Chain A
Amino acid sequence: MLSSWSFYISTLVVYFGVDALSGISLNLQYGYAGVVNFGFIVFQAVGAYVAAAVTLGPSGGVSAFQHYVFGASLPFPLPLVLATAAGAVLAAFVGLFSLRRIRRDYQAAVLLVVSLIAFQVVEADVPLFNGSNGLVGVPRPLQSVLGLSLQGYQWVYAGWVMVLCAVVYVLVRWLSRSTWGRALRAMRDQEDAAAGIGLNITALRMQVFILGGAIAGLSGGLLVEFIGAWSPDAWTYAETFVIFTAIFVGGVSNYRGVLLGVLLVPIVFLQVPQFLPQIGYPGLTDSLQWMIIGLVWMLCLLWRPQGILPERRNLAPAYLTAESA
């Protein structure tokens, strides 16, 4: 009993870390730069697929029952590095056509369509990433080298995710408070004025999009190396809105709020129903959960768009006094 709890909680810690990385990435893009990335989950998905493919070995070898591209068996940190790079490269490609200076609602719609289309293509094109069955049997990194019990390994992995999460958190927070971060917020609030003082809007948007894509790719790589499988069911367009809802509940443009939101929405809200007795037919709970995610998001927009912990707006004056002193 005790060990199964330990197993469950360590798993939740990993999920929290992965969702926190997603939340940080999306908050950087939406909360700071005002880019409404409705296709966020695609960048996590590409990271996961790439990390899985470069760990599984050449396609047609041991895992001849599944087809994929980029097959290789690279040692431990490399799949994660490639997953991060894959997220960044895909973001650069998508950004090329979606990040022009266009109405932001057009931009959001185009990114949503990217998400829907990517899903249809990957699901239908089996040679790419094994279609709707997805990739399975991804080995856990260093499991044989470390020689730990399953229990111990779970906690080591959870710790590793937490360390990466903390590094990204500190890095992104520092970036958000730098000159670059202030430029992002200027762009978000007054795009024309920001362009007027000489900021290159398209370049800024592209940078934030690529950085966010890289973090998303990393989160996907971390997730797939832990759960060992990845298929289109894991990244339907609706998954993006779990993260969106989380940052709206916790607090847009406030990283502490984002962590709170991630704890409340994907972890507590999506996990608790597992302990409740099943209602109706199998699958009804899932549908209801998704409905409630949509409702919570709409209610947040109606009543408290700034979230539980609102953005702290005193950064600029503090900076000015520091400069003049």
Chain B
Amino acid sequence: MGTLLSAIAFGLILASVIAIAGMGFTLQFGLTNVLNLSFGAVMTVGGFAAYLARDHGVSAWYGLAIGGAVGAVVTLAIGRGLFRLYARRGAQLLEMIMVTLGLGLVINYAIQAISRNNIYQFNVLQSAPLHLGAVTITPTQAILIGIAVVVFVGLEAVLRLTKIGTALRAMAAEPSLARSCGIRTGRVVIITWLLSGFLCGMAGVVYIINSQSVGYATGELFLPLVIAAALLGGAGSPAGAVAAAIVMGVVTEVVSAYGGPQFSTAAGFGILVLVLICRPRAVLGDRGRETRLTL
């Protein structure tokens, strides 16, 4: 029983990392229709930004904002600059996913070249662990869960209560109608890149705070869970991404505790596979609608 409870607690910690990344991914994907496979690489960039900042004496917690800001700028540059360039040349969904993957390769191996293919320690000052019944977690881990909750509530509030959030949801639903209603679509797209990029960079920092190390493959190892969470939760739905993240985080850690850590990520992905086999419609939604890139 104690093992199971601990596994669930660790699952929630992992879920908070997946959820932050997944919300960024799904926001981007839901609005622009770009299935951005360079997302993992940008996460790594955010993580390294926080690492460098800490090297210069900045606290790891400010690193969250720095990583987020770097992620936002990088994402805006590639989204508004690079992806739009391809879209103007007639790239569609499939070509775009290849572009994002090529970009992911370039960024990943650029980081490998710069970081000399080393893994760097990223220790956050640890205080006494918290005992919650049978479960023992560190205060850092508790804070990470708190951050995920704050991000989720904040994002939902922005999407539901502000004008820009309404515009964003309108555009995700029907871009051309939104444009003819007078929504400045270009501005909304820019805000989407910035917001999702911020979440992406921040997720990279959260990930390395949790794993206490950063290397060039950090984001790439994590990407399967993020993609699975975004597909499982439904494109463009932060709540769906969070729910999927919780399911996958808990399953991953429970399998890791009982079946061996080598199968943990595979088990998380296994859920997506099961859903794809049994209920493809749940993941894929209505096939009839024509989907286009919105950049």
Contact = CB atoms under 8 A, between A and B. Distances in A.
Interface of A: 34, 36, 38, 96-98, 100-106, 108-110, 112-114, 116-117, 120-121, 124-125, 237-238, 241, 244, 281, 283-284, 287-288, 290-291, 293-295, 297-298, 301-302, 305
A157 to B, nearest CB: 32
B212 interface: no
Interface stretch (B104-112, B119-127, B180-188): B104-112
A222 B283 CA distance: 39
B206 interface: no
Contacts of A104: 93-94
A284 B111 CA distance: 11
Interface stretch (B42-50, B128-136, B160-168, B273-281): B273-281
Contacts of B85: 302
Interface stretch (B6-14, B15-23, B63-71, B261-269): B261-269
A241 B113 CA distance: 19
Contacts of A110: 231, 272, 276
Nearest to B268: A117
Given A121-B263, A241-B105, A287-B110, 11 more contacts: A38-B101, A104-B93, A106-B283, A109-B231, A114-B269, A116-B220, A290-B105, A294-B103, A297-B102, A301-B91, A302-B85
Interface residues of B, number: 49
Contacts of B93: 103-105
Nearest to A98: B276
Contact of B37 (A112, A244, A298, A301): A112
Nearest to B93: A105
Contacts of A120: 221, 262, 265-266
B227 interface: yes
A112 B94 contact: no
Contacts of B94: 34, 36, 104-105, 108
Contacts, number: 131
B35 A105 contact: yes
B95 interface: yes
B58 interface: no
B227 A297 contact: no
A117 B222 CA distance: 10
B97 A109 contact: yes
Interface of B: 35, 37, 85-86, 89, 91, 93-99, 101-106, 108-110, 112-113, 116-117, 220-221, 223-224, 227-228, 231, 260-263, 265-266, 269, 272-273, 276-277, 280, 283-284, 287, 291
Contacts of B106: 291, 294-295, 298
Given A281-B116, A302-B85, A125 B99 contact: no
7 contacts: A36-B94, A113-B227, A117-B224, A117-B266, A283-B117, A298-B103, A301-B102
Contacts of B89: 302
B276 A36 contact: no
B295 to A, nearest CB: 15
A69 B252 CA distance: 25
A301 B96 CA distance: 9
A293 B231 CA distance: 28
B269 A113 contact: yes
Given A109-B231, A283-B117, A301-B91, A101 B287 contact: yes
A302 B90 CA distance: 10
Nearest to A128: B262
Given A97-B273, A287-B112, A291-B105, A108 B97 contact: yes
A101 B288 CA distance: 11
A109 B93 CA distance: 12
Nearest to A122: B262
B269 to A, nearest CB: 5
